[in-house]
A and B are shown apart, each in its own frame.
Chain A
Amino acid sequence: MKVETEKESGQGGAGFAKRRRPGELAIRGFLFFCGALSIATTIGILYELGKESFLFFGDEEVGVVDFLTATIWQPQVGGFGIWPLVLGTVLISIIAMLVAGPIGLAAAIYLSEYASNRVRGFFKPVLEVLVGIPTVVYGFFALTFVTPLLRSLFGASLVGFFNVLSAGVVVGVLIVPLISSLAEDALRAVPDSLRQAAYAMGASKLEVSTRVVVPAALSGIAAGFVVAMSRAVGETMVVTLAAGASPRNFTLGDDSLFGYILNPFQGAQAMTGYVVITASGDLSYNTIDYNSIFAIGLTLFFMTLGLNSLSRRFVKRFQQVYE
C-alpha cells in the first residue's frame, strides 16, 4: 500500500532513479572486473601449474606413483621422487617452528598480559621491522653469520657449510613476528571477565595467563602457528642460500634415521630451493626441468592451501566462542 502511494506521488523521483546511466554502469563494470581478476589469478595459477604438471607426469620417464613414493630426486638420471625435497622443506619448517613457537608465544603473552603501553611501544615496532626486512637479507644473514656461528659452536667437521639448522633458525626468526602478532590478537580478545574471575579466586598472574587466558585463546593461537608454518613452507630465499642445492636422497631402512635422514647439521635442498636453482639456470620451455618446477609448485600450492584453510577453521572456531 505504502509503496504504491510513494510511486504515485513521486513519479518524477522514481523516473530519475531508474534513468539509465551508462557512466555509472561502466564504472560498476570496471570495479566488478577488478574484483573478478582475483578469481582469474587463481584459475591462472591452477591452470598453469596443472597443465605443466600434466605434461610432467605425461613424460615417459616420470610416473605419478614414483613421484609420490620414491625417495630419490635426481633429475639428471631420471630419479623423480619428491620425498627428498619434501624432507628438506619439512625439516627446515619444523626447526623454524621449534625456534619461533616458544619465542612467539612467550612474546605474545608478555605483550598482552604484562607489558605497559610504553614497553609495547618499544617492542611492537621492532617486531614490525623484522617483518619488513626482505627475505634475501635474512638469507645473507643466515649464510654469513648464523652458519659460521653454528660451525664454531658445534665444530666444522659436524656442521656442513650448507645446513638445515641455519636455514631453520633464520626462518624461525622471520616468522616470530607472525606468530606473536596473531597470538597477541587472540590473547587480547579473551574477555577481561575471565581474568578477573581467576584473580578473584586468588590466582597469580602466571596461573591466570597459562591456565585461563591461553587455553581460552587456544584456537586463535593455533591459527597463528599454522599460518606461520605455511609461511615457513613457502619461504624461499633463506632456504636456497643456507640449506644448499643438493637434495637429501635416502633409502628408508638403509640410511640411519638420525645420522643422515633427519640430521640437521647437513644440507638438504627444499622444494622452493629446487625451483629457484632450476629457474636461475638456463631454462628452456617444454623440457623436463621446466615442467618439474611446476609439479613441485603444485605440491607446494596444495600444502600451503591446506595449512591456510586449517588456520581459517581455527579462527572461525575462535570467533564463534567470543562473538
Chain B
Amino acid sequence: MSVEAPERPRRELFPTDEEYRDHLGSRRRKAVGFKFFCLGMLSIAVLALATLLYTIVNDSFGLVAVVNENDPGAIVAGLGHDPEVTGLQEVTYEELVGLLEANVSSGVGRRLEREQRFYEDRLVFEDEATWAEICASDDPPTGCNAAPRDHNNVYALVQERVVVTDVIASYQLVPSIFSPDRFEAEVAEGFEAGRFPDHDLDRVTYEWRAWFNPTFVTTPQNATPEVAGIRTAVLGSLWLVVVTVLFAVPVGVGAAIYLVEYARPNRFNDFVQTNINNLAGVPSIIYGMLGLAIFVRVLEPLTSGAIFTDGVPPSDNGRTVIAAGLTLGLLTLPVVIISSQEALKAVPDSLRHAGLALGATRWQTVRSQILPVALPGILTGTILAIARAIGETAPLILVGASGFITADPTGPFSKFTALPIQIFQWTARPQEEFHNIAAAASIALLLLLLTLNAVAVILRNRYSRRAE
C-alpha cells in the first residue's frame, strides 16, 4: 500500500522570490521600529520614576522669602555673644529658655510648660502649688509625666515665638538655581497685589532653605509649616512597625508552616489557601474599615488600654497605636504567608525525609531542619511586606490617625500620627510651604523604606551564608 503524497498548496498563494525580497525591507523596518517602540515604552516607566524623585527633591530645597520680626543676630548680640561666631542655635539651653521667659506672655508660657516642662527639677512659668494641683487633677496635662524638652525643641520654640520667622513664599530648587531673580520679582509682585498685608517688603530677606534637615526630623509636629517637624510621625510609624511585626510575623510564618508542612490536601485546607490568595487582593482601605469596626470600636476596652488600668485609661478611645498596628498586621498577613510558603516550598524534600527518618517529630524537623534553610527567604519576604505596610495611608486614616497630634507616642495605647498621614495632610493643604514639608517628609519616608530594604538584603546574605 503506497502512501499518497499530500496535495501541494496552490502555488499562487505564495509570494514569488522577487515579491518576497521586495517585502523584506519593510518587514525589517517594522521589526526595528517595534523594538524601539517597546524600549521607548519601558523608558517611560524609568522617566516616570525619575520625574517623581525630581519633584520630591525639587520641592524639598530652594529659596524662601523670610520676614523675621526680630533679627536673630541682634538677639544673640543681646545675650552677649558675637553674632558672627555664635548662631542662635549654638547658645545654651538656659539662655534659650531665658529668651522665651523674656518674650512670651505668661499665659502662653504656662501652656507650653503644661505641654512639656523645661527643666526636670524646677518650673519656669508655673508656680509649684498650682502645678501640683493640676497634676493631681483627674485630667493631668502631658507635661506632668513627659520628659523635659530638649535643646532642639526649645530652639524651635524660640524660632516660633521670639524670632517669629515667617516664611511668606518659597521657590523650588531648580528655578531657585537658574532664575533666583524671578522669585524676587514674584514676591515683589505679590506685595503690589496686596497678598502680604501684614508684612513690609523692606524687611523681606531671601535665603536658601533645606526643608529636609536634621531639625525637621527631630522637631515635633506643628501647625506652622516653617517650624513643623516629623518626629511625632516617625516615632508613630516605628511604633506601628513594632506592633505589626509582633503580630504578623509569628502568625504569618505559623500559618505558612501549617499550610506547607502539616496540612493535607483536603477541602478545608484548599479553602484556606484560596482564601489567603483572595485576601491578598483586597484593597487596603477595606482592611481599614475592618480595623475601625473591630479594633477601634468593638475591642475599644482593649485597644484604649482601659482593661489594663483601674482608673483612667491611657487613651479615651480605641484610635491607638495597637489598633492601627493590628490592622496593618492583618493587611500584611496574606503577603507574609504567601512569601513564607514559597520559601518553605523551596526547601528540598530530602531534608524532611532525613529528619523524619532519624525519628524526629514533625515539629522537630521543621524547627531544626526546615526553618533554618527557609529563613533567608522568609525574612526577605517579610521585610518587604513590612516595608509596604509602612507606606500604607488609607487604613490608618480609617482607624483614626488623622488627628492633629504633637505629643510623641509613648506606648501601644497612645494616640499617634504616622509619616504617610503627615504627607497626606500636608499635601492636601493649598499653601506652597506645606507642599515643601510634604516633599521633605516623603524623602524621610523613602529613606526609611530604603533602610529597611537594605536590612533585608544584608540579613538575607548573612543567613544564607550561615545556612550553607
| A residues lining the B interface (CB < 8 Å) | 16, 21, 23-24, 27-28, 30-39, 41-42, 44-45, 48-49, 52, 102-103, 106-107, 109-111, 114, 123, 126-127, 129-130, 132-141, 143-145, 173, 176-177, 180, 204-207, 209-210, 227, 230, 233-237, 240-241, 272, 275-276, 279-280, 285, 293-294, 297, 300-301, 304-305, 308-309, 312
Contact = CB atoms under 8 A, between A and B. Distances in A.
Given A114-B39, A139-B424, A205-B35, A38 B46 contact: no
Contact of B289 (A34, A139, A293): A293
Nearest to B453: A132
B182 interface: no
Contact of B42 (A106, A236, A297): A106
B466 interface: no
B39 A137 contact: no
A48 B289 contact: yes
B41 interface: yes
Given A36-B272, A39-B275, A236-B393, A279 B292 contact: yes
Contact of A31 (B48, B254, B424): B254
A48 B296 CA distance: 13
Given A137-B56, A143-B427, A304-B283, A275 B289 contact: yes
Given A41-B290, A132-B387, A297-B285, A35 B48 contact: no
B254 A34 contact: yes
B44 interface: yes
Given A35-B255, A134-B449, A279-B397, 11 more contacts: A45-B287, A106-B40, A114-B35, A139-B427, A140-B439, A145-B51, A205-B34, A234-B282, A275-B285, A275-B394, A285-B297
A312 B274 CA distance: 10
B105 interface: no
Interface string B320-343: 000000000010011001000000
Contact of B294 (A44, A210, A279, A301): A44
Interface size class of B (residues with CB under 8 A): 35 or more
A110 B393 contact: no
Nearest to A31: B258
A32 B258 contact: yes
B442 interface: yes
Contacts of B308: none
B251 interface: yes
A247 to B, nearest CB: 17
Interface stretch (B24-32, B117-125, B190-198, B211-219): B24-32
A143 B297 CA distance: 34
